[in-house]
């Protein structure tokens, strides 16, 4: 549990830094999208590497759990529900996120 907590603090700090420093607009939440897509890729990658349980807990559950923000994605979707871009944002986030998990996993297996 300590590994997950320490990792989550690091992941949340990184997410905060990116959220503050990535310019966004009302139509496309760039920071959330970038954070979730890179997090999905990294999760697939570290899962494929077959890391020690404690390292995986720190990185996967902790860092990436604190880094990714699918709750913010869903909050943003509520705000975008009136715009046609909302459906595209939802589909691209979930489908591309899933694809990136597989890409990360595949690349991790090649290492």
Q: What is the pLDDT along the chain (111 residues), one digit of tens a residue?
A: 899 999 999 999 999 999 999 987 767 899 999 999 999 999 999 999 999 999 999 999 999 999 999 889 989 888 888 777 888 999 999 999 999 999 999 999 999
pTM of the shown model: 0.92
Any binding-site annotation on 68? yes
Kindly state the tokens that stand for 7: 């990792």
> Which 3 state secondary structure label does DSSP give 51?
coil
Q: What is the pLDDT of residue 23?
A: 82
Domain ranges of the chain: 2-110
5 is in an annotated binding site: no
């Amino acid at each position: 549990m300590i590994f997950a907590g320490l990792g989550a603090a690091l992941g949340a700090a990184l997410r905060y830094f990116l959220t503050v420093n990535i310019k966004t607009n009302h139509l496309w939440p760039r920071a959330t999208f970038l954070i979730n897509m890179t997090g999905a890729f990294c999760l697939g990658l570290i899962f494929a590497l077959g890391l020690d349980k404690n390292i995986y807990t720190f990185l996967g559950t902790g860092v990436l759990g604190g880094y990714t923000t699918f709750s913010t994605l869903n909050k943003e979707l509520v705000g975008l529900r009136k715009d046609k871009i909302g459906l595209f944002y939802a589909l691209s986030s979930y489908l591309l996120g899933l694809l990136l998990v597989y890409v990360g996993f595949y690349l991790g297996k090649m290492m």
